[in-house]
Structure 1
Amino acid sequence: MLRFRSIWFARLAIILAFFALWEIAPRVGLMNERLLPPLSDVIAALIGLLGSASFYPHLGTTLFQTLLAFLIAVPAGAILGILIAENRFASEVFKPLVFFIFSIPKSIFLPMFILAFGIGLTQKVAFGVFSTIFIVMMTAFAAIASVKEEHLRVARSYGASTMQVVLRVYLPSMTPVLLEAVRLAMIFNFTGILLAEMYASRRGLGNLIGTWGMSFQLDQLLAAIILISGLSIVFNETIRALELRLEHWRG
C-alpha cells in the first residue's frame, strides 16, 4: 500500500511540475508566448470551448465517426485474424502482407480515400477502419498463438463443434489479449479520424485543430489537444479496468 501511494505521489508531482513549468516558462520569457501560451490561457480557452454551443456539433461528429469506425474495425479485425491464424495456408499467405501493410504510414493513403469516397462520413469512417484493423488482426494472430493446445485437444476430443470451441476455448483465452489490442486500436482509430478531418472535412475536432493551427490560434489548439487527451485517458482506463476484471481468464 505504501509503495502504491509513493507511485501515485511521484506521478502527481511530475504532472504538477510539468504544469507549473508550462505556466511559468512563457511568463518569464523562457518560451515565446506566441509559440507556447501559458497554461492558464489554455485552460481559459478550454472553458470557453466547453461553454460554446457551436463546439459540440464538432465534438459529436468526431466521437460518432470514431465510435462507428471502432465498432467496425475491432470485430472485423478479430474475425479476420482468427480465420487467417486458424488456417496454415492462409497464415503463410496473408500474415506477411498484414505486417507489411501495417509498417506503411497510413497517412499516405488518405488522398486515395478522398478520391474513392469523396469528402464525407464514409471517407472518414473508412480511413479510421483502415488505420485500425491491422493492429487488431496482428493481435488476433498473437491471441490465437496464446491458446493452449491441450485445451483445444480436450474440447475436440469431447466432440465440441467449431462454434463451441470458439466460444468456450478461444474467446476466454483471447479476451485479455484482445482487450490490450482494443486500447491500441482506439489510439490508431482516433488518430485516423482526426487526420481525415484535418485534411478533408468541414466539421469535427480535426477540422478545428487544422484551422486553429493554420491561423496560429495556439491557445485554442492546445485546449483541443488537452480535451482529446482527456477523452483518450478515460477510454484507456475504462478498458484497463475491464481487462483487470477478466485477468483470471488468462489461466
Structure 2
Amino acid sequence: MRARVPAAAVSLATGAVAWELIGRLAGVSFFPPLSTVAVRLAEMAAAGEILQSVADSLVNLLIGFTISLVAGLLVGVAMGRYRKVEAALGVYVYALLTAPALVFAPIFFSLLGDGRGSIIAVVVMYATFVIIINTASAIQSVPAHLVEMARSYGASERQVLLRVLLPAATPMIMAGVRLGVGRAVTGMINGEMFIAVVGFGHIVTEAGGRFDSASVLAVLLVIIAVALGAVWLVQAVDRRLTGWVPQTSRGSQ
C-alpha cells in the first residue's frame, strides 16, 4: 500500500500539470486549462448546482446498482451451478450484454416515463449482465474436487453452495462487481442525459448546449470522483472478503 500511494499521487500531479499546460498552449475554447475548470467548479459548487446533482445522481446509482448486484449474483450463481439454467438463460444474457443498453431507452421512457424509474432501468441494463457472466464463470471455475470432497462428508446442496462454491468463487465474483459498478456509473450518466435530464446529465446537457466546456469538464471531474469513490468502496469490501487469498501474482514494485 505504501508503494502505491506515492505512485498514484505522482500520476495525478503529472496529469494535472499536463492538462494545465496543454490547455494554455493549445488556446482552444473546447479544452480550457485545469485552473479555469477548477474555478468554474468552485462557482458551481457555491451556487449549489453540484451538491443537488450529486444527491440526485447518487440515488439513481445506488438503487440501480443494488438491483443489478442482487439480480446479477442470483442469476449468475444459478447459471454457474445448474446447466439447465445456463442453457435457458445464457443466450439472453450474452445478447443483452453485447447490445447497446441505450437502444432500450425509448422502451423504458414509454413504460416508466421521464422520471427516476427510467434512469434506474438504464443503470440496471448497463451493470447487471457483466455481473451475471463473471459470477457464473466464477462458480464454474471452482475445482470439482472441492465439491466432491464436501459431498463425501455429507454436505447438502445448500452447504456446498454457501461453504464451498461461494467462498472459492468470491475473488472472481468481486472482479465482476468492480466492472459492474463502473458500468453502472456510465449508465447513470447516459440515462440522465438522454431520458430524464436530471443530476449530472442535466448540467452536462445544458452546458454542452451553450458550448461551455469548462462546466462540462468540471462536471466530468465530479463524475470521475464519484466513480472512483464507488470503486474504492467495492475494493474495500473485496479486500475484506478475500483477504485470505494469497496475492502471488502481484509484484511488489
Fold in common (TM above 0.5): yes
Q: CA offsets per residue over residues 86-115 of structure 1, 9 Å max, x none?
A: 222232332233222211211222122112
Greater mean deviation of Cα atoms: 148-157 or 185-194: 148-157
| Alignment map for 1:157-196 (pairs within 5 Å) | 157-196=152-191
Q: Give the C-alpha shift of residue 213 in structure 1.
A: 1.2
Greater mean deviation of Cα atoms: 183-192 or 152-161: 152-161
Greater mean deviation of Cα atoms: 9-18 or 225-234: 9-18
Q: Matched residue of 1:40: which SS?
A: helix
Partner of residue 20 from structure 2, selected from 13, 19, 23: 23
Alignment-mate amino acid for residue 244 of structure 1: R
Partner of residue 143 from structure 1, selected from 122, 138, 144: 138
User: Does residue 199 of the first structure (1) align with residue 186 of the second (2)?
Assistant: no
User: Does residue 91 of the first structure (1) align with residue 91 of the second (2)?
Assistant: no
Q: Give the C-alpha shift of residue 8 in structure 1.
A: 5.6
Q: 1:196 to 1:39 in 2, by over 3 A?
A: same
Partner of residue 77 from structure 1, selected from 72, 79, 82: 72
Q: CA offsets per residue over residues 170-211 of structure 1, 9 Å max, x none?
A: 221122212111111111111111111101224211121121
What TM-score, normalized to structure 2? 0.88
Given that 2:126 and 2:187 are in contact with CA atoms closer than 8 Å, whether structure 1 keeps it comes out as: yes
Given that 1:172 and 1:249 are in contact with CA atoms closer than 8 Å, whether structure 2 keeps it comes out as: no
Q: CA offsets per residue over residues 7-51 of structure 1, 9 Å max, x none?
A: 7655544433332232223323x241x111111010111222222
Q: 1:202 to 1:14 in 2, by over 3 A?
A: closer
Given that 1:84 and 1:94 are in contact with CA atoms closer than 8 Å, whether structure 2 keeps it comes out as: yes
**Partner Cα separation in structure 1 for residue 65 and residue 86 of structure 2:** 25
Counterpart in 1 of 2:250?
none
Unpaired runs of 5+ in structure 2? 247-253
Counterpart in 1 of 2:237?
242
Q: 1:39 to 1:82 in 2, by over 3 A?
A: same
Counterpart in 1 of 2:204?
209
Unpaired runs of 5+ in structure 1? none
Given that 2:192 and 2:200 are in contact with CA atoms closer than 8 Å, whether structure 1 keeps it comes out as: yes
Q: Matched residue of 1:168: which SS?
A: helix
Counterpart in 2 of 1:218?
213
Q: Matched residue of 2:86: which SS?
A: helix
Counterpart in 1 of 2:114?
119
**Partner Cα separation in structure 1 for residue 181 and residue 23 of structure 2:** 33
Q: CA offsets per residue over residues 34-69 of structure 1, 9 Å max, x none?
A: 111111010111222222334322211110110001
The number of residue pairs the alignment matches comes to 246
Q: Give the C-alpha shift of residue 119 in structure 1.
A: 0.7
- List 4+ stretches of structure 1 deviating above 6 A: none
Greater mean deviation of Cα atoms: 88-97 or 168-177: 88-97
